[in-house]
Amino acid sequence: MPPTLLIASNNAHKHKELREIFATLAPEIRLVGPAEIGLTLDPDETADTYLGNAALKAHAFARAVEGRGLWVIADDSGLEVDALGGRPGIYSARYHRTAPNQDGCQRLLDEMRGVPRERRTARFQGVIVLIRPDGVEGDFMATCEGVIGVGKRVAKGFGFDPVFQVAGGARMMSEISEEEKNRVGHRGLAAAKAIAWMKHGGPQ
């Protein structure tokens, strides 16, 4: 029987992206959100690394569903801007929440005003943690390189997508198709590694 995978997040955008990625790469795997199984859980992200935060979430949800035969997937990610010394990094979500009007993109553009293109390099870093029903853990990391634009291009997407231009292209992350984003983006790349691990049952 194909595995059922619990998404260790209450973020609707993450749910949407992960479901699209799995529908393309592993349609046989069923994904469920916490609400679908009657689970209310929102663990604090108190670690100082992406892996640490993803692991905190994954293990909290795994403990909550122990014995139910579910795999658990959690992720953490952030935008690292070289001209800002790697900020906002693991605090990317907080950067949005604490920005004026909760507009982290505009806050970032304001901080980057006057910075030449060659110094606007940045990357999305992403980590996915998978936990099997027997507690075995797999960790998967991926990076998407790019630059910070000089203005927002809002077509779709969320977070920093409207100001992040993927390396080697002319469009912002918010302007590319969902299929392309899932292929080149940090979450899609990390998920592809996780799916390969799942299909082999994890470490042997």
Span between the terminal Cα atoms of the chain, in Å: 19
Is pLDDT above 80 for 85? yes
Residue 157's pLDDT band, with cuts at 50, 70 and 90, is: low
Residue 14 burial (CB count, 10 A): 19
CATH 3.30.70.20 given to domain 4-199: no
Query: What is the rounded distance in angstroms from the CA atom of residue 31 to the CA atom of residue 155?
Result: 27
Domain ranges of the chain: 4-199
- Return the active site residues: 76
HSE-CB at 151 with a 13 A cutoff on CA atoms is 2
pLDDT of res. 203? 55
Across the range 49-71, mean pLDDT stands at 97
pTM of the model: 0.91
